[in-house]
Amino acid sequence: MIIVLTPDIERRLAEQARKLGTTPEQLALASLRERFGPTAAHDASAETPGSLADFLQGHIGVLHSSEHVPDGAHMSKDSSKKYAAGLLRQHRRSE
């Protein structure tokens, strides 16, 4: 099914979706489901997924290198110098 929206409804849908951190499509589906309710034939696996943050919940976090390397790996310290040194080593190996 294709539903053609008027420009004013499309604009308001897009604005509201942006405020809620979702897509216009997900917001429209959620609104239709709320209005018409679930049916007996509704398949829970067909529900629209949430945001990427919802999908990655439990996998997103902060890792401190000191958990794995004594005194920490200091990976962000002098990163441009480390990158340049790595490029130089790679160049020398390819000669």
pLDDT at residue 56, as a whole number: 75
Question: Is the per-residue pLDDT at 89 higher than 90?
Answer: yes
pLDDT at residue 40, as a whole number: 46
Contacts of 14 (CB under 8 A, 6+ apart): 24
Round to whole Å and give the CA distance between 2 and 85.
56
What are the sequence ranges of the domains in the chain? Answer: 1-37
State the average pLDDT for the chain.
81
